[in-house]
Every structure is written in C-alpha cells, then in structure tokens.
Structure 1
Amino acid sequence: MAAKTDPAKDDIVATASSGQTAFPLGRGFQDADEVLPTYHIEAQTSLVERPLRSLKFGEAFGVLDSYGDIGVQPGPEGLYFQDTRYLSRLEVKIEGQRPLMLSSVMQDDNGALSVDMTTPDIRLDAHDETSIPRETVAIERTKFLFRGACYDRIGLRSYDTKHRRLRVSVTFDADYRDLFEVRGTDRKERGKRGVLVASPTEVQFRYVGLDDMVRTTSLHFGPTPAVLEPGRAEFDISLSPGAQTSLFIRVVFESHRAFTKPPADDMVGEDAAARLTLVANGGTAAKHPKGLGEGMIFARAYRDSRRDLRALTAGITTIISSNDQFNEGLCRATADLYMLASRTPEGIYPFAGIPWYSTVFGRDGIITAMMALWIDPKFARGVLRYLASTQAKVVDPAADAQPGKVLHETRRGEMAMLGEVPFRHYYGTIDGTPLFVMLAWEYYLVSGDLQTIKDIWPALELALAWMDKYGDRDGDGFVEYARDTEKGLENQGWKDSHDSIFHADGQLAKGPIALCEVQGYVYAAKHGMARLAAHLGHGDMAERLSGEADALRETFDTAFWNEEMGTYALALDGAKKQCAVRSSNAGHALFTGIAKPERAARVAETLLCNDGFNGWGVRTIAKGEARYNPMSYHNGSIWPHDNALIAMGLARYDLKDGAARIFKGMFDTSLYQDQKRLPELFCGFMRRPQRGPVSYPVACSPQAWAAAAPFAFLAACLGLELDHDRNRVLLKNPILPDFLDGVTLYNVKLRDSRLDLRFQCYDGDVTVSVLRRHGDAQVVVMK
C-alpha cells in the first residue's frame, strides 16, 4: 500500500519453487549496493496461493484461512490487536482430520465469516474397520469480531441413521509476535510468555513485553471440554440421528501496563495512538453476567454487532445499477469501508488495510475520505478532526516531524513503543499535510459544516505554515522532502519504495525531491484554504492564498512540463533536474487542477497509450521506462486508488471517455477477484484474451482506498458535484461506461434535502430523472 512503512516491497519477486527474491535491474544501469531495505515485507509465500478471510472491529483484526482456522500454514494468519498477534494458531479437527470444505463466504456486510463443512470419511478403529462415511454430519461455523473478542460457533448436525460419538479437537497458541516481526523483521530480544489453565473452561496466555505491557489472550470454551490443556481442548460429542449441537470458542484479548511509569514527553501532547482506545471500543471485551453460558454470550454479541453495523451505515447514499455484478462489487466495497472504519473520539477513521496496515495512515485516510465524500461525509469529518488532534507540535528528527505536519502513521506494537521501528507517531510523509488542507475545503463544499472548519482552523493554519517553512526546504516555491534520519522512509510520497523516484537512465534521484503530484496538492490546498478564509471573513488571507496558488501553477508548468514526453515529469531532484519519467503521478496534476488546460489532452494521451494503460488500468510507471517492472510495488504495477484519482482528473478537464475507459478496466478487474473486491494493487502485465489480471503476491485486501475507488469512478463519469453553498447537485456532461445501461443513486444528501436520481443511457446519451426529492436542492445538468 502506498507507502506503508515498506519502501521496497516493489523489489521483491516471489518464486514458487524456492521462495528466493530477485532484484530487477533497469536497462543501462546497476546498483551495486542494492539490498533489501528496512521494513520490507518478506514474500516467501504469496497471499494469493490460498483464499484468506479478514475480520475487523476497532483495533483488532483477524486473518483466517477459508476454514476459519489460523496458522495451519505459514503466513500472516492470526488474531491481531494493536499491531501484535494475540492468537497465532487455532485449528479444529474431527477425529483428528480436517473437515471437508463445502463453502466459505464473508457475509455481504462483512459482519461475519460463514463456513459450511462436513465430515470426511473417518476410520475410528484401524483393526475392526469401524468408520463413519463422509457427509453424515453437517458443520456450520460462524466467526466474528466485536469489542475486544473473537466469537466462534461450530454447529454440528447429524444426517446419519445411527447414533454417533465424535471427538472434536481444538489446538491453539499465542506467539505475541509484533506485526513487523510477522512481516519479516528480526528481533534480538523478546519478552516473557506464559500459559495456564485458568478453569475447566478457560486457558490464558500472558506475555510481558519489553515495553512493560502485559498482553493476555483468554480462550473460553463451551460446553466444558473433556480435556483442556495448554494448547489443546477436546470435546466428546454424542449425536443421535437428526440431532444437533454447538461448540463455542471465545477469544478475549486485552493489554495493560505491568508497572506504573511516568508519562513520556510527546510531540502532540498525549499519546496519539492511545486515542484509538475508542468510544465503541475494539480493545475492551464486553462484560457478561456471571454464569451466562457461552451460547448466550455468542448470541448477544452477534445481535449487538449487527445493531452496531446498522447504526454505522444508517443514512448513507446507496447505488443500484443495471449490472448485477457491479452491484455485488459496490456492496463489497461499502462493506469493506465500514469494516475498516474505526471509532475515535474525533469520529470514524478508515484504517488503511489488512493485514499490514490496519491502523491510522494520514494520506490513506484523507484520500479514502475524499473518494467516499458524496457517499458519507462522516469519514472526512473524522479524518480531519483526528489528524488535527495529532498534528506535530515540535521538531523531532527521529519521527520526521516539524510543527504543523500531519501524521503519516501510528503504531502501538511493542517494537514501535520501544523505538525499534520509528512508527509510534511517524510524520514522514510529504503529501499528507497539503492533502489535509485540500480535504477540509472538499468536506465543507459537500457538507456545509462550518463548525468543524472553525474547530480545526488553527491546525489548517499550522499546516499552511508548515508547507511554506518546512515543506519548502530551499525557498524555490516547491514542497520537497528528505528524510531526517536513516530510520525514516527514504521516499515520502505515496510511491515510497526506495527506488520509486528515478531519472530517465534509471539512476535514483537525490534529494530534496519535489514530486509532481505534491505540487498539485499544494495548489489545491491553497485555493481551497482561500475559499474557506473568505467564508470566515479573512479577505486578505483569501486574496494572498489565491495569488500564491496561481503563481505556483505557472512555476510548476515551467519546471515540470516535458515537451518530449508530452506530460509532466515525475519529480525534480535536489539539483532541480527533471526526473523525465512517464508516470501516473502526472494524472494527479489533472486531479488537482494544477495542469494547464492546454496540457490536459496530451497528459491523458500519455497515460492511456499502450505503454501507460495495460487494458486493466494505468500503470504507475509506463512500459519502457528504465526501472519499469510490472511485478514491482510502485514501478509498473496498477493501483485502483491511483486510477480513481486519474479518472477524477480526466473528468475535471471533461475527458470523460478516458475516465470511462479506466472505469471499465477496473470493473473487469473486479470480476476476477475473490469477492469482487479490488485489491491494494496488482501487476501491470498487458491484458491478454481469456485471462484475468495478474495478482501481486503480498497485496492487502481489503484496502480502504481501493474500496472507495468505485465510488470515485462513478462520480467522475457522472460529473457529480455537491455544492452546499449553492444548494445544488451539479452533473457535468454525465456519461456511463459500456457495462452500465442505468444507475440509480438513493438518498443523495445536500443540506436538508434528500434526492433519488436515476441515470439512463440511450444510444450513448445519458438522461437524468429525479425520482424523489425531499427539500429544495436543485439538480443541474450541464452538457
């Protein structure tokens, strides 16, 4: 995922036979000292080898195999809380054998995993050949996360004609590995772990970390197992013909300090990560009346989790189209967004992705909120308020922090708390701060929530000051970056692999580096801030910022435009030399509006030529460039969120056919994905007949900004803009891609108005009908 403390995932090519890694070299150059950079994700196995299932609530998430088990094969499977794996193994067997899989699906709203299985052929006694034929007992497993616990029900129902006794065994373990250890980082020392049988129905694991945190995992079983030992439980099940019964496993995870220590100084005045111990807490398990059975506990938690999810999604804008497969993809995208949403005291915040990035990321949260703004502005409000509350207040080189800079990521694992990785509160992102300001204007334009803008106004002013003082290191008018310590991220844009910013000959750029897209974000931020300043009566400030934005547009065009390539350069290096590389970054210049209108068509042509667009989407780096590698993380792969921003940029310049073309490629991509879910990224190989896109081996799925991308694609094609001040829904030259004949938007919200809008395509022309109108908002169609 963009930049997630993994600057070199793009260098790793997993080989199925050996699990070794290969380093692609571009044409005409070699890097003699090219080694695996810090924080890379080891790829000795691929996440696409077998289907994995994800659960999440609050700060906890689970990665399970299709059976609902954990740790049967090596990989990232586990139950995680605050960047620590609290359960590393959980496997259920019947008479020593795995059940036969029938189906494994996430419920439509991601609320639970549902698995249907049956018994295999079972030989109970090798001597007298006593056996149970397969398919005589149906096994239904339901598993979900809610408020500090994972709930697991294993239902058994006999379809046999004989009375049967079965032995059901559960093996389990908790290794308390930090997420960065799971990703491949070695540690020299660890804390102390213990396990005990706390009662006839409970086993408790306990880990005292080097950070003086006590982490506990309690497994509660019901009914009482016949055997309960550290790491193993056994149940003797008696089933008469037609009978049914259930087993329950409840895993509770908690953490607390072992010793009272004086609070450490903190750049934001308090522990930003601790703010994620939430209102609807993902970290504290619900308390249950003494003596309440595990079956009743499961039922109550399941009921409450459904209510919680319904409350979270109440009143959002929904979409129904003429294409059932697209509808399924939208359903999954919506479910993913709200599964990844975590509650903070400031509002909901979309965590970036599972498994590697299930935490707050500034850039990802902002872009996700932007793309989902017309569906539900609550995301933007929560992101703005949270990032304002965690904004850096002091200079801290170890965290790449300066006053006014917006948070890149926060971690709560043992390694982050000890400083073994720098990501406890890490600010090493060059684009998060201008994007924060940019989102503030976009949020106000849709919501009219001036109170939130007033509340975060000091943070917005600090962000502007950071751009001018710390962001512009050499005073040339461009915002550029260079990491402050060797522990920080080497590249700090969304393409933050160590080799993602380079020159035409393949040589890596030396900083400070000014990225193409970042200048666009600054341009949009200053224009947006000018409009907000005007609303708040700061006329002089509004005039100054508008002038600065317009001047930046001119200097940007002069410095970044490359006539030979027909597009904007990827970046400027520390010597102000262009990185003359064709990249998707130029599409962000369209998205932000910094591109001059006379440049737009040529930028679009370069993005959508065969070197740029592979039939599924726009590559991060065009084919033929020095470091192009379609299997890389950032140098030739395809990212749905990147393509969505490009599509929005094409729509801004009324290049709608290009936006629809990208939309069609991404829809086709979703048809080949498990659960029709767009992944974090996929490989950039050219589209071939009768074959789907090539997966990336360690891509996150679900991923927040990938989940939000379909809503951005649709809004781009419809030319949809919500304007609170003018009280109008604007539709600029709406079109539909060829896989959609019609689309209906339900409950479009503007001020106190609620609208249902119907779009229908007739011979390439799209008509708009207002099916329902509550309130006085206008609908304006511009052709």
Structure 2
Amino acid sequence: MAAQDDAAKARHAEDETKQAAKAGFQDADEALPQYHIEAQASLVERPLRSLKYGEAFAVLDSYGDIGWYPGADGLYFQDTRYLSRLALTVEDERPMMLSSAMQDDNGALSVDLTTPDIRLDAGDETAIPRELIALERTKFLFKGTCYDRIGLRNYDTRRRKLRIGVTFDADFRDLFEVRGSDRVNRGKRTVERRSDTEVQFRYAGLDDIVRTTSVHLGPKPHLLEPGKAEFLVELAPGAHTSLFIRIAFESHRAFTKAPGPEKAGEAAAAALSRAAGSLADRPDRSLSEGRIFARAYRDNRRDLRELTAGITTIISSNDQFNEGLCRATADLYMLATRTQEGVYPFAGIPWYSTVFGRDGIITAMMALWIDPNFGKGVLRFLAATQAKEVDPAADAQPGKVLHETRRGEMAMLGEVPFRHYYGTIDGTPLFVMLAAQYHEVTGDLDTIRSIWPQLKLALAWIDQYGDRDGDGFVEYARETEQGLANQGWKDSHDSIFHSDGAMAKGPIALCEVQGYVFAAKQGAAKLARLLGEDDLAASLTADAEKIQKKFDEAFWCEEIGTYALALDGAKRPCAVRSSNTGHALFTGIALPERAAQVAAQLLSNDGFNGWGIRTVAKGEARYNPMSYHNGSIWPHDNAICAMGLARYGLKDEAARVFEGMFDTSLYYDQKRLPELFCGFMRRRQRGPVSYPVACSPQAWAAAAPFAFLAASLGLELDHARNRIRFRNPVLPKFLEAVELYNLKLGASRADIRLHRHGHDVTVAVTRRVGDVQISMLK
C-alpha cells in the first residue's frame, strides 16, 4: 500500500512539473515581467545571514564575508550597495568553517573558524597544520556602521606567525541594478587611502548625492592599499589577539538646495532621515578600534532590549515551536525601524528593506496582540505620508496610502517610479482597517483622533478614486506604463487571469479588496461614533451592508464553488480558485452560508498541498507551483486564511493550516518561515520546495506564527468591554499547552495558560494585574 501511495505521489509530482512547464511555455511570448528579479543563482544554494539596523542591512555568507560568490551579498544603505566585497583569508587561504549562527535576538552574527592546512610555498610541506588557530568572528550593524571583530587564539604548543588578509570593495550599485536592471549611465566612483588605518570609497551619483564607505582597520595593518589590507600576527602558545574592521557609510547632497514646501512623498524621506541611526555614528577618534567596538556592541544590546521591553511572550509545550517563535520575534524586531512617527516594520531582506504600506499594515495587524506599537507606528507614518495631490507618475491621488518609498539613485532619478509610489489598491482600506483594530485592542483614542483627518481622506479616496465607475466596487488601473500592472498583494504581471488563462483587462476589482473596503467601513463607523460623527457612522454602516450584498451577487461563482479571484473591466468574473477567497473570510464580507464551501475549496487537494494553501489552486490555467503568485505558498497569506476560517468557527480547518506551516518551519534554517515557497505537493520523507529568490527574513512571514496562534486560540482583545476572551480555543496536534506572559489590555496585564485535553482546551489565569475580565466562550 505504501508503495502504491509513493507511486501515486510520484505521478502527481510529475503532473505538477509538466503543468509548470506548460505554464512557462504559455508565457514564453510575453514580455519579461516588470521589475523582474534576475537570478543566475538561488538564494537557497548556500546559507545566508542577514543583519539590519535602521535603513541599513547586510547580506553575508555563513563566514560573514561578502562577494565570494555572485549574488545579492552586500552591505546596503538607502537602497544602495555600499560594500560589495569583504573577504577574510589566512595566508591567502579561506579559513575552515566550524559554526555560523545568528544570536538569538538577531543582534549579531557569530562565526567560529579555524585555519586549514597551510603550505606557504607550492610543493612545500604543511607549514601550519589545520585546527591549531581558532578564529572567532562577531559582526553587527549599529547607527550607520558595520562592526567586525576577528579574534584569534593559538592552541598550539609553538609560537605561530600568520598573515591575515582582508580584501574589500564598494561598487555603489543601486538595489534595482543588483536585482537585474541595466543602466547606461552611472556616477563617478573614486577610492583613496586616507591614512595608515583607513580607506575611503566615494561615489558622486547622478542624483547629486555623494555616498561614501570608509573602511577603518585596527590595529594598524602591515599593508594597506585601496581594496586590500594585511596584518602580520604573531601568537605565543595559548595567546590571543583581536583585529577590527569598521565600515562606516553615509550619504549627503553634493550641494544644498533652497528649502521648499514638503510634499507628502518627501515627508517619507524626511521621517526616515530624521530617525535615529540614519547616519554614521562617529566615535571618539582617541579610542582604539577595540574600545569603539565594545561600546557599540554594548549600546546595540541596550537598544534591542529597549525595543522589545514589555511585549507579550509565549512559551509552549513544543520546544521546536518555541524556537520558531523566538526567531520570528527576533526577525520582527530586526526589521523594525525607528521613524519620526514610531516603529515601522520594513518589509524584508534583501529586496524590500524599506517602507511598504500594505506589508507594514498586515504585519502590524498580525502582531497587534503581542505589541501594538507596530500598529501605532504604521498608522502614524502612513498618515504623515498620505498623498495630497494627483500625480499620475506616482499613481497618487489625494487620500491614497503609500505603497513604497525608495532612496536609491535610480528612484531619485525616476528610472524606477518607486521614490514615493502609491500604486497599491489595497493599502488605503487596510489603513482604515488597522486603525479600527488598533483602537479595539488599545483604546488609544488620542492616536485615532490625531489621524482622523487622514482616515476620512482615505474613506473619501475609496469612494471617489477607488471606485472609478461608481459601481460600488474598488478597482485599479495604473496611470502610466511605468506603474505596476497589478496593484493588489499579488502584483505579478500574470497574477490576475480568467479560467482559460487569458489575462484580465482592467480596471480590475479584486476579491480581497472588496472585503477590505467592507471591513474598513464597518470599523470606521465605530470610530466615527466614538468621535461624535453619528451621521458619518450611519452612512458607513449602510455602505458596508450594500457592499456585502453586491459582493456576493457579483463574485460568487457556483461553477467553482467559491468567490471569483476578481472582476475585469467588463465586470466579468475571473472564475479562478485562489487563496484570495480566504481574505473574504478574514474580513467578514463572505456570507455565513458560503463559508463552508470557501473553506472546502481552500483545503481541497488542489488548494492545500500538505504544507499550506496555494495562491492559485492546482488545475487552474496558469497554475505553476514555482511561480511567485500562481501556485506558490505564502505564510502570511495562509495566516490570513486561518484567521478567516477561525472567524467563521472553522477552527479545525484553521488548525490544519497552522500544522502545515509549523511542519514547514522545521525544514528551514533557524525555523524561520520564508517570504514564500513552492507549491509542489507534499511528499513522504521530503520537505517543502524553496523559492529561489524569496526574502528571508520577511516581516509578514515573521508575524504569521502569532496570527496562527491567535486564530487557533480564538483570542479576542476588547478594550471597550475590558475583556480578553478565548472563543472556542483549539490547539493543533503539535501543541499540548501554551502559556501567554504579559498579555496586555489597557492598564491590565495577565499570564494565561491554555492546556489541551483531547480536543478540549482549558484556560487558567496564573497572574492578573488590573481588573481585566478573562473568559472562554465555546
């Protein structure tokens, strides 16, 4: 029987591969997708390590080096690669790897190395046997500087002399160039040896921005040239020493322009530039490099502790799940970036380490119950950068919420449209949704009141600009050829199509966006009542009721047993089975009598591959398990589906999705869920298939485990009723018990233990501070 099962699965996998190849053939005559991420090498070929602080991030190999292999490795700041090579050698040989791991809180990378067998001249006998010299490397980012300490210890009984080499370079390539975009013209790059311990690379860009990378070395190297340094190290038996590499990077205008009025788009750059840690932190020159490193390391630890102080923490009966939660928490706070308006989770490393409206909102939603500060920071930032005028090049209209902002040379010059880009159809209703959810959890009416004018502008945009033809649905069409062709979260060029594979022609009304609008108007109505605008509240409530009725009439497709992916410009439904329908459950727009059918499609063999829910079901015309949006699996998308299933009481179905994602995490380095992975069917004794250029870490993937857990527990935080409630809690098979520490509601705090007994779950309060009511509802 097992052999038959394996044979059936093998045939199934072969069918999927053929179908994927067919999908590729169908698209062969189409132009290369917009802003394509070019890849000659997969990001999963070798372990990569990521560091981030502020607007800077580093992608390193497991040695802590940059540039040994072609790819995305580098030290980046404001969408520019400020360091394209940093390689450590011992007597011109690469050290041998012992271990490489991120610290538990992502604060630093720790690498243990040793010397290989070393021959000083060709044909000579081994001069230094391997494993006698230990090298311990520690790297971290802090306030515009990358710090690198290389500790060496001699475990031999003899004195040893070593030549330690460091090669380095800075190409100042724009992130979009690294992703594959070609450029005809570039600025001027120079390099100079500024002292016995410093080399500086300088790039005068075409955007009148001067970018500099300064490489500081200590102690004074024996040899220092532009791009190369050598240290001569002599170690007595048992002796140890340290070498330091400090990379400082910054940018400034080549000349000062006269100040002018700050537009909404420019406010995004200003809010980031004025935030802590945007520019290089200049140390006291009288200090040694060792003292500089030690002070920065201490301050970096303090900074991380301050950022995570007071959050809700979770300990479960499953050690592997605990490890995954620790990594998810560390990833969230590594991606967290301080802005003038508060903490904002940047979307992901390496391609999206910047503000994304949609990503930040969804991340904040999923993390609200562990730390509402994400919600507050996202709301305030997006309110401050909301569009104030019509700008076709930026796909902007008054009231629309930012899609993304970029600081690189190509964006500054308009070679890509993303300097301050508003081409997202869902960000604006999601912004209003988040505001209502944030208030429900925190009761922070002061923040809501401070952004209420922007929330009303967002609501006006939904009705005026979002609903282009006045039919009650919000649809999109890009304003220029440079803008994104598709503007929902599935924004690939081929992600919205009809059942025969034909591309949908716009304006396009997406399934999930109508749900976001429905929930936004419901939530805004509650806020309006609190702020004394009863007429507006009544109008919004009536609008929501109309939207729900029209949505069911227009989007429900009996022939596929679920809601359509979208309506095209002729109002024809795209009768395609997709994960978007799970978002209709999440927002509550789906009629209760439809929920079971929607769930059945999501969890069918075509929709659910054993690891998660596919973006597009197997069997659809453009299904391709290796695609970005047409058959792949996204953890955040699955978390939204799970929250939707739980909303309609389908807790066992939600737990099944949760279990698949937990199993997925066990196959990934550090138990970290990636941005996405391939949708091939789960096979016995094999893990999930990775997507070659997925971001890792990714903010909304990091937040997904918290959303899965809240969905399973039926966790409801209701500030108005001063109530924490667990609605029909269910724990998946891999969890016997979960303990929540420092769960907050207003001024109250509670520690709560949930324990599974068969299928039933009990709730026990182990600590309570304040008068919050805690209950369970079956």
* TM class, shorter-length: over 0.9
Distance 1:418 1:745 in 2: 49
Match of 1:68 among 64, 69, 83: 64
The answer to whether 1:190 aligns with 2:206 is no
Quote the Cα distance in structure 2 between the aligned partners of 1:167 and 1:717.
57
Deviations 1:359-412 (A, max 9, x none): 000000000000000000000000000000000000000000000000000000
Aligned to 1:180: 176
- Pairing 1:149–2:145 present: yes
1:553-572 pair list within 5 angstroms: 553-572=548-567
Aligned to 1:287: 282
CA contact (8 A) 1:58 1:278 kept: no
The 1-side partners of 2:563 and 2:340 are apart by 41
1:482-517: CA deviation from partner (whole Å, max 9, x where unpaired): 000000000000000000000000000000000000
Name the SS of the counterpart of 2:582 in structure 1.
Answer: helix
Q: Does 1:595 align with 2:590?
A: yes
Give the residue type in structure 1 aligned to 2:171. D
Contact kept in structure 1, 2:117 and 2:126, CA below 8 Å = no
Q: Does 1:331 align with 2:321?
A: no
Change (3 A) 1:26 1:583: farther
1:593-616 deviation line (CA, Å, top 9, x unaligned): 000000000000000000000000
The answer as to 2:430 corresponding to 1:466 is no
Is 2:729 aligned against 1:738? no
1:42 aligned residue: 38
Distance in 1 between residues matched to 2:124 and 2:210, nearest whole Å: 51
Relative distance call for 1:361 and 1:731 in structure 2 (3 A) is: same
Q: How far apart are 1:590 and its partner, in Å? A: 0.1
Report deviation, 1:30.
4.1
3-state SS, counterpart of residue 127 of structure 2? strand
From the superposition, tell whether residues 187 and 740 of structure 1 become closer, same or farther in structure 2 (CA, over 3 Å): same
- Counterpart residue type for residue 232 of structure 2: D
Q: How many Å separate the matches in 2 of 1:125 and 1:497? A: 54
Q: 1:552 to 1:500 in 2, by over 3 A?
A: same
**Is the Cα–Cα contact under 8 Å of residues 394 and 417 in structure 2 kept in the other structure?**
yes
Question: d(CA) in 1 for partners of 2:59 and 2:217?
Answer: 21
Q: Which residue of 2 aligns with 1:626?
A: 621
Residues 270-299 of structure 1, C-alpha deviations (whole Å, 9 max, x = no match): 442232124322x22222222200000000
2:392 equivalent in structure 1:
397
Conserved in 2, the CA contact under 8 Å of 1:361 and 1:409?
Answer: yes
Describe the superposition over 1:128-158 as per-residue Cα deviations: whole angstroms up to 9, x where unpaired. Answer: 5351110000110000000000000000000
Residue 570 (structure 2) aligned to one of 555, 570, 575? 575
Deviation at 1:24, TM superposition (A): 5.5
> Which amino acid in 2 is paired with 1:37?
P
Structure 2 CA distance for aligned equivalents of residues 36 and 418 of structure 1:
23
CA distance in 1, matches of 2:683, 2:23: 25
SS at 1:769's partner residue?
strand
| Contact 1:26-1:628 within 8 A present in 2 as well | no
CA shift, 1:269, in A, is 6.8
Deviation at residue 29 of structure 1 after TM alignment: 9.3
Q: Distance in 2 between matches of 1:729 and 1:185?
A: 50
Listed one character per residue, the Cα deviations across residues 85-144 of structure 1 (whole Å, up to 9, x for unaligned) are 000000000000000000000000000000001000011234653511100001100000
Determine helix, strand or coil for the equivalent of 2:57: strand
Q: 1:299-698 alignment to 2 at 5 Å?
A: 299-698=294-693
The separation in 2 between residues aligned to 1:685 and 1:435, in whole angstroms, is 31
TM-score, normalised by the number of residues in structure 2: 0.97
* Equivalent residue letter for 1:273: A
- Are the equivalent residues in 2 in contact too, given 1:55–1:145 (CA < 8 A)? yes
Q: After superposition, what is the alpha-carbon deviation per residue over 1:290-345, rounded to whole angstroms, capped at 9, x for unaligned?
A: 22000000000000000000000000000000000000000000000000000001
Name the amino acid aligned to 2:634. W
Which residue in the other structure is 2:78 paired with? 82
Compared with structure 1, are the counterparts of its residues 598 and 620 closer, same or farther at alpha carbon in structure 2 (3 Å cutoff)? same
SS across alignment from 1:650:
helix
> What do residues 528-559 of structure 1 show as CA deviations (whole Å, max 9, x unaligned)?
00000011111111111001001100000000
Give how far 1:268 is off.
1.1
Mapped to 1, the partners of 2:471 and 2:122 lie a distance apart of 82
C-alpha change, 1:35 and 1:25, in structure 2 (3 Å) is farther
Quick check: 26-35 or 325-334, which moved more?
26-35
Larger deviation, residues 504-513 vs 124-133: 124-133
- Give SS of 1:261's match: coil
**Equivalent residue, structure 2, for 1:11:** none
- Please, which runs of 5 or more residues in structure 1 have no aligned partner? 1-21
Gap change, CA 1:662 and 1:345, over 3 Å in 2: same
Letter matched to residue 714 of structure 2:
G
What is aligned with 1:17?
none
Match of 1:768 in 2: 763
Shift of residue 266, structure 1, vs aligned partner: 5.9
Identity of aligned residues (%): 76
Query: In structure 2, which of residues 291, 304, 309 is the aligned counterpart of residue 296 of structure 1?
Result: 291
What are the residue-to-residue correspondences of 1:76-155 with 2, within 5 Å? 76-126=72-122, 129=125, 131-155=127-151
The answer to whether structure 1 residue 242 and structure 2 residue 241 are counterparts is no
Distance in 1, matches of 2:20 and 2:133, equals 51
Distance 1:305 1:672 in 2: 31
Measured at CA, do residues 599 and 661 of structure 1 come closer, stay the same or move farther in structure 2, by a change above 3 Å? Answer: same
Name the SS of the counterpart of 2:177 in structure 1: helix
Identify the residue that residue 156 of structure 2 maps to in structure 1.
Answer: 160
Alpha-carbon distance in 2 for matches of 1:478, 1:265:
35
Query: CA 1:27–1:320 in structure 2 vs 1: closer, same or farther (change >3 Å)?
Result: closer
Structure 2's unaligned 5+ residue stretches are 1-17
* Distance in 2 (alpha carbons) for counterparts of 1:401 and 1:148: 32
Q: Distance in 2 between matches of 1:23 and 1:319?
A: 42
Amino acid at match of 1:713: F
Q: Go from structure 1 to structure 2 and tell me whether the alpha carbon gap of 1:674 and 1:598 turns closer, same or farther (over 3 Å shift).
A: same
- Deviation sequence 1:433-469 (CA, Å, 0-9, x none): 0000000000000001000000000000000000000
Equivalent residue number for residue 211 of structure 2: 215
Whole-angstrom CA distance in 2 between matches of 1:244 and 1:268: 54
Equivalent residue of 2:97, what SS?
Answer: strand
Letter of the structure 1 residue corresponding to residue 273 of structure 2:
T
> Would you say how many aligned residue pairs link Structure 1 and Structure 2?
761
Counterpart-to-counterpart distance in 2, 1:628 and 1:38: 20
**Which residue among 222, 229, 236 is the counterpart of 1:226?**
222
Change (3 A) 1:127 1:553: closer
Contact 1:26–1:626 at 8 Å: present in 2 too?
A: no
Distance 2:703 2:97 in 1: 32
The CA distance in 1 between the partners of 2:239 and 2:28, in whole Å, is: 68
Residue 12 of structure 2 aligns with which residue?
none
Where 2:68 maps in the other structure, the secondary structure is: coil
Distance 1:757 1:399 in 2: 47
| Cα pair 2:149 2:245 within 8 Å, conserved | yes
1:755 matched to 2:740: no
Q: Give the partner amino acid of 1:552.
A: I
Distance 1:734 1:188, change over 3 A: same
Q: Residues 28 and 107 (structure 1 numbering): CA distance in 2 closer, same or farther, change over 3 Å?
A: closer
**How well do the aligned residues superpose, as a CA RMSD in angstroms?**
1.4
* CA contact 2:19–2:624 (8 Å) conserved in 1: no
SS of structure 1 residue aligned to 2:388: coil
Q: Counterpart amino acid of 1:99?
A: P
CA contact 2:609–2:679 (8 Å) conserved in 1: yes
